[in-house]
Amino acid sequence: MSTQVDTSLSAELYERALGVLPGGVSRNAALHDPHPFYVDRGTGCRLTDVEGVTRIDFANNMASLVHGHADPDVINWVIDQLRRGTAFNVATEIEIRCAEHLRSRNPGFEKMRFVNSGTEAVMVGIKVARAFTGRPMIAKAEGAYHGGYDYIEVSQAPTPANWGSLDEPAGVPLVKGTPKSVMDEVVVIPFNDIQRTIALLDRAKDRLACVIIDLMPHRIGLNPADPAYVTALREWTSRNGVLLLIDEVITFRSCYGGLQQQYKLSPDLTAMGKMIGGGFPIGAIAGRAEIMDVLNPRSPKYVYPHSGTFSANPISVGAGLAAMEKFSRSEVDRLNALTRKAITRVEDAIRQTGIAASVTGTGSMFRVHLKPQPPRDYREAYLTPAETQRLKVLLNHMFDNGIILINSCSAALSTPMSEREVDVLVGAFKSGFERLQSMK
């Protein structure tokens, strides 16, 4: 039997990449069988690969591109700024304008600092909380992803073999060699479980600096948090002098001023990233002025020296401002309404095909689960080996039918999209569900 050799340009590029990059990539999310998808260009909501194939992009660089690719308003800003300079050792007016705009979207953002990624924003937020309270510990939800900092990686990806009981979820390191002392400074709480969460927080209240929570955690299932759970966390933290840090790196796109507005929530600190950079690397930590003053060298509260070579880079903050100004209240509402239509139609396809599946999400994002009921926490969202294999089949089917999704089978819509793109998406999902049904 002859073996067909892949002579595509993508295969050639991957072979070169394997020689210089671990696994051939710089981020694991780019992996795809039999080799990564190499892009040539992106325009609006479509990507064209190096083989000349064009697909609709519902991943949008992990939800960071709310206006899709090569947005003309962002491009115009960047080209102009490139001529003025790309990075300076001094301040710029554009960082002030970007901060003012963010505060206009959410009055709770009294003061803020720009950094270079969502990971860095969360990291700085945790350090601000420690500096303000003088306490070392944090609490985070089991299975929640908050970036690549040792403390927030604890129990990011536990398994049934090591996650412990619901009454006391185990602190599980993500990376081999993580010091045990890191686990000792993190309280792992079960998402959406008020009674168990409060019991765990009570035991550590005198050492907790902050509770960090994502209101719609992607890896827990992209299911919005129970409002009663969020209220319980806000009341508990206020009562015990613990700061509430909301991770809006992904969810800021959900409402004009972040998903917290849907909950009528006023956290102490908010971490942002992704869409606020207009397609460029960025992060920001915002919060109450008295808390943020731990970063202010001219304040008597100054206890946290903070700097960064590329923080408030004019390309990133300027592109971000251009993108956010364009993402007006009316555009937020329009894109959210289009997403609700997509969710409704995917749910119709689930019913029509009889597949055991469900949909979660809000704002301009949603996720398809090959589970009959939407998961409410990490353990319910956890994929069995059989579910993992079926999900891979579905994702490959979507890709082959011109749809790019986030690898969890999540979609993040962008403003260039219309019902035409939703039609293609729903059609691909329906035929994918039919294919899975035929495999039983």
Q: Could you read off the pLDDT of 41-72 as tens digits, one per residue?
A: 999 999 999 999 999 999 999 999 999 999 99
Examine the fold and report which residue of 326, 341, 364 is the final residue of a domain before the chain moves on: 326
- pTM summary value: 0.96
For residue 150, being part of any structural domain is answered with: yes
The pLDDT, as a whole number, for residue 144 is 97
294 with 426, same domain: the answer is: no
Q: Which of 117, 119, 152, 121 is nearest to 292 (CA)?
A: 121
Regarding whether 174 and 305 lie in a shared domain, the answer is yes
Q: Is residue 176 part of a domain?
A: yes
Look at residue 311 and tell me if it is in a domain: yes
* pLDDT tens by residue, 309-347: 999 999 999 999 999 999 999 999 999 999 999 999 999
Domain boundary among 326, 360, 375: 326
Tokens 């793109």 locate to 421
pLDDT at 97 over 90: yes
Is residue 12 situated within a structural domain? no
| Structural domain ending residue among the three candidates 326, 352, 371 | 326
129 and 274 belong to one structural domain: yes
pLDDT at 1 over 60: no
Residue 89, pLDDT above cutoff 90: yes
pLDDT average, residue stretch 12-39: 92
Indicate the number of domains in the chain. Answer: 2
Nearest Cα to Cα of residue 6 among 15, 49, 53: 15
Q: What average pLDDT score do residues 120-127 get?
A: 98
Indicate if the pLDDT at residue 2 is higher than 60: no
Q: Identify whether 389 is part of a domain.
A: yes
Are both 201 and 135 inside the same structural domain? yes
Contact by Cβ (8 Å): 322, 119 = no
253 and 372 share a domain?
no
Kindly tell me the sign of the dihedral angle through the C-alpha atoms of 80, 82, 83, 89.
positive
User: What is the average pLDDT value for the chain, to the nearest integer?
Assistant: 96
Percent of the chain with pLDDT over 70: 99
C-alpha separations of 336 from 17, 263, 323, 345, 422 in Å: 38, 16, 17, 14, 13
Amino acid at 139: A
Give domain status of residue 19, yes or no: no
Q: What is the DSSP string of 258-310?
A: -GGGTTT---SEEEEEGGGGTTS--EEEEE-HHHHGGG-TTSTT-------TT
Regarding whether 396 and 308 lie in a shared domain, the answer is no
* Same structural domain, 294 and 371: no
Task: List, edge to edge, every strand of the sheet that includes 358-362.
Answer: 358-362, 365-369, 410-412
CATH at residue 276 = 3.40.640.10
- Is 23 among the domain residues? no
For 219, list phi and psi in degrees, rounded to 5: -75, -15
Residues 95 and 236 occupy one common structural domain? yes
Same-domain status, 220 and 87: yes
Of 375, 346, 345, 370, which is closest to residue 440 (Cα–Cα)?
A: 370
Whether 133 is covered by a domain: the verdict is yes
Q: List the CATH number of the domain containing 424.
A: 3.90.1150.10
Q: Write down the pLDDT at residue 191.
A: 98
Q: Are 318 and 431 in the same domain?
A: no
Same-domain check for residues 313 and 399: no
Q: What is the mean pLDDT of residues 278-285?
A: 98
Are residues 105 and 149 part of one domain? yes
Q: Cα separation of 338 and 328, whole Å?
A: 15
Give residue 341's domain range. 37-66+328-438
